[in-house]
């Protein structure tokens, strides 16, 4: 049974570590939510190890610089990982996909890699799509997806979220394009949550780490809550992210759990101490 929270401080003794999403939790697009971030600071001050895991296409250094330039105290984070960083590492060390790629948007993950971007999908060895803070207009890319299907091009999806909360509301994201491609029979190579290896990477240097004493915070059922369930961690769903549920009822949360086949331990509208 899911438990509604108004303040996370009520359950702070139930966990030692936190794996927290970024967008939809303490950011909306590129806009920081002061109360939510103040909550992370208070969690750190109460002795919790805080780790960030995002399906953004940004590299870790991009995230670090953005938060630091936003006057965020970076010492509160034990570790940070992004889908962009994981994909960058994979592509740097694995050239089996070929050398030329067609990207549906500018890619942070490809910067500094020995690959060639092409604007002609007929010359591409693979496709690339990554989550960004502006969302995605998937409809205009459908003809290109069909051409890629005909050519049997694999699609590298950096960030699996089908939707993302932006400053202009909820928009389609990279995962939606990948989902459409898969439905047409295309091959997907995904990076990011809910891959269990993300949690393992973040926690590998924590002595006596116990998933049962870890709280995973996020706004997405298919990535954040699924990751939490797969490693048997505790879960906290932020409902006023991509779900846009304000003052959610117990019935709504139960329906979400049933529809996705996932357990939600706690839920709250916005992250606050």
CB 145 within 8 A of CB 184: yes
Query: pLDDT band at residue 110, thresholds of 50, 70 and 90?
Result: very high
Q: What is the pLDDT of residue 153?
A: 97
Query: pLDDT band at residue 30, thresholds of 50, 70 and 90?
Result: confident
In sequence order, which residues have a C-beta less than 8 Å from that of residue 260 and are 6 or more positions away? 221, 222, 225, 226
Which residues, in sequence order, are bridge partners of residue 20?
52, 217
Nearest to 57 by CA among 78, 30, 80, 84: 84
Domains of the chain, start order: 3-55+194-268 (3.40.50.1000), 95-191 (3.40.50.1000)
What's the mean pLDDT in 74-81?
97
Query: pLDDT band at residue 169, thresholds of 50, 70 and 90?
Result: confident
Q: What is the pLDDT of residue 127?
A: 97
In sequence order, which residues have a C-beta less than 8 Å from that of residue 48 and are 6 or more positions away? 12, 15, 16, 17, 18
Nearest to 184 by CA among 221, 222, 138: 138
Q: What is the pLDDT of residue 196?
A: 95
Q: Mapping DSSP to helix (H, G, I), strand (E, B) and coil, where does residue 7 land?
A: coil
Predicted model pTM: 0.94
E strand or H helix at 34: helix 34-45
Digit-coded pLDDT (tens) for 208-226 = 999 999 999 999 999 999 9
Burial category of 208 from C-beta neighbours within 10 Å (exposed 0-12, middle 13-18, buried 19 and up)? exposed
Q: Calculate what percentage of the chain has a pLDDT beyond 90.
A: 85
Q: What is the pLDDT of residue 131?
A: 84
What's the mean pLDDT in 24-48?
92
Residues 62 and 41: their CA atoms lie apart, in Å, by 21
What's the mean pLDDT in 147-176?
91
Output 96 or 143, whichever has higher pLDDT: 96
Residues 174 and 158: their CA atoms lie apart, in Å, by 7
Q: What is the pLDDT of residue 28?
A: 81
Q: What is the pLDDT of residue 233?
A: 98
Q: What is the pLDDT of residue 100?
A: 97
What's the mean pLDDT in 167-191?
91
What's the mean pLDDT in 69-97?
96
């Amino acid at each position: 049974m899911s438990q509604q929270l108004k303040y996370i401080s009520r359950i702070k003794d139930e966990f030692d570590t936190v794996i927290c999403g970024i967008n939809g939790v303490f950011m909306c697009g590129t806009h920081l939510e002061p109360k939510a971030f103040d909550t992370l600071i208070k969690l750190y001050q109460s002795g919790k190890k805080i780790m960030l895991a995002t399906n953004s296409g940004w590299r870790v250094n991009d995230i670090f610089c953005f938060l630091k330039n936003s006057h965020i105290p970076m010492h509160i984070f034990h570790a940070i990982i992004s889908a962009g960083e994981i994909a960058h590492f994979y592509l740097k060390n694995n050239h089996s996909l070929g050398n030329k790629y067609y990207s549906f948007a500018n890619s942070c993950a490809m910067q500094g890699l020995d690959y060639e971007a092409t604007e002609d999908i007929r010359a591409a060895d693979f496709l690339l799509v990554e989550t960004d803070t502006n969302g995605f207009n998937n409809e205009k890319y459908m003809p290109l997806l069909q051409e890629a299907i005909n050519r049997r091009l694999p699609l590298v999806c950096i960030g699996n979220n089908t939707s993302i909360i932006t400053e202009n509301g909820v928009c389609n994201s990279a995962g939606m394009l990948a989902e459409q491609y898969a439905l047409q029979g295309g091959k997907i190579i995904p990076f990011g949550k809910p891959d269990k290896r993300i949690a393992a990477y973040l926690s590998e240097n924590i002595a006596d780490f116990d998933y049962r004493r870890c709280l995973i915070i996020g706004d997405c059922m298919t990535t954040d809550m699924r990751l939490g369930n797969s490693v048997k961690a505790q879960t906290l769903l932020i409902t006023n992210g991509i779900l846009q549920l304000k003052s959610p009822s117990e019935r709504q949360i139960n329906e979400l759990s049933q529809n996705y086949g996932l357990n939600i331990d706690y839920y709250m509208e916005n992250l606050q101490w």
